[in-house]
Structures are given as structure tokens and as C-alpha cells.
Amino acid sequence: MSPSWLRRWKSAVTRLFSGQANFGELQGTIGYTFSDAEVLSEALSHRSYVRTAANPQCPSFERMEFLGDSVLGMLVAEQLFRLYPECSEGELTKLKSSLVNEQTLALIARDMRLGDHIRLSEEEANAGGRERPSITSDCFEALLGAIYLDGGIGPAEDFVRKFVVSRISEVQNNRAIRNFKGELLEITQGASAGTPRYDVISESGPDHDKTFTVVVHGFGVELARGSGHSKKEAEQVAAGRAQQEARILARKRRPKQTGQEEM
């Protein structure tokens, strides 16, 4: 066994199975030290890792993500409400959507190198899971949920302010980050056509590389379809494709303007 191979093997084992000692770098990045290392461990454990872990009771981060998603929405809404007293409800909603969507959270996770700390199966890691937006954005929400569980609302507020709300200007200036679902919602509601409905119509591929296809309905008809490696991504693609047809249908619903009466 060569020394270089042994070093790589030890590094891989440490990355997959080490405990609190391996969390120091991430805790330094986020500026918060966990009292309960198991909470952080759960927030970093993808379901692919759980299936192959030595401990079958090891939970994945999905429940923690559920909590973090709710905490994120509430804290971003509150901080925007206080920062922008002049903004209307609609403007605040657009700001919030631009900050909490998958694209933005994945960029934040990339910049803080969160992918380096996510526990994945070897197969998922080799398939590029550490850079997959659907995984890194979900893990970011799970991490926030873990901070909230471990330290309460104060550290969670600090985390959201530091990593999410601080990027408002960057997000607004980045044309690549668009909330197509929010834009489509504006079109349909502006035409009194209600809220678009998104349905998953197919899933294909292995667990570590699934492709979802979504159809979006609005104005009583199918508007468009879209595919992506997560349901959120597929919905965004479908919403982007649906906008042209939605605008045509919205114009048809507007009452025709009458000409001025003759004098």
C-alpha cells in the first residue's frame, strides 16, 4: 500500500465519518458553534449518505430542511419589512422570492463551500452532488434549521442577515437569477386568473441523478412544460416558458377600451 494511496483513503474516511472535530471549519465560516454536534451532523447528511451509513438510525437533513425553509421565509420577510418601509407588499414579495429561491441559495452555499461538508454516498459524490444546486440549497436550509434548533432565533437571525439579506443588491443586479414563478404569478394575478398550478408528470433516472418534468396550468389551460434535476428547477423552467403564452391570454382578458364620445 503506497503512502499516497493511504493518505487519500484516510482523508476520505475522515470526510465521511468524522464527528464534531471535522465541523470546526464550517462553524468558523458561519460564525456559530453548535452546542449539540448531532444537530449539525443531521443537517449535513444527505439521504444518499444515510442509506450507506454504518448507523441505520442516522437521519437525513430532509426534516431539518423543512424547518429551515419556514424559518428562512419568516426571517427574510421580517428583515425586508424593517429594511424597506417604503416598499409595497408586492415589492417585498418580489425581493423575498429573489433571495430564497434555489438559484440564490445554491450560489450562497457555493461561496461558503458548503458542498465540501455535505455527507454524501460515494456514488452521489462522484456524480457531482457537492455542486448540485438542488442538494446544496436544501442543505443550506437544513443548516439554518439546525442553527435555530441549537441556538434559537437570535443566531438564526444573524445567519440570515449575514448570508442572505446582505446579498440583496447582488441578486437584484444579477440577471441570471430570475424568479420565473414569481413573474408568472404576477401575470396571472394581474389578469384576475388566480395562481398557476404546477404538476409533476414524470420522473426518470437514478436516485442520484433524477430528472423531473413539470407542467404548469393557468387561465384554464396548459401553458408549458419544463424539466430539471429538482422539482423546483423544473417548475422554474416551465414558468419561464409559460410567460409568453400567459401574456397573450392576459391581454385577451382585458376589457376593450372604448373611444371617447364624440362632442
CA dihedral over 161, 164, 166, 172, signed as positive or negative:
negative
Q: H/E element holding 203? A: strand 197-204
Q: Contact at 8 Å (CB) between 246 and 252?
A: no
DSSP assignments along 144-187, one per residue: HHHHHHHH-HHHHHHHHHHHTGGGHHHHHH-TT---HHHHHHHH
b/e string for 80-100 if b means 16 or more Cβ within 10 A? beeeeeeeeeeebbbbbbbbb
Nearest in space to 180 (alpha carbons), one of 227, 218, 236, 134: 236
Cell 434549521 belongs to 145
* Helix, strand, coil percentages for the chain (3-state, nearest 5): 65, 10, 25
Listed in sequence order, the residues at least 6 apart from 248 whose beta carbon sits closer than 8 Å to its beta carbon are none
Give counts: helices (H), strands (E), the chain: 13, 3
Q: Please identify which of the residues 42, 102, 124, 141 carries the catalytic annotation.
A: 141
Q: Please identify which of the residues 69, 124, 138, 235 carries the catalytic annotation.
A: 69
C-alpha cell at 84: 424597506
Active site residue 122: no
Active site residue 69: yes
Any idea what DSSP says for residue 45? B
CA dihedral angle for residue 204, residue 209, residue 213, residue 214, rounded to 10 degrees: 130
Catalytic residue list = 69, 141
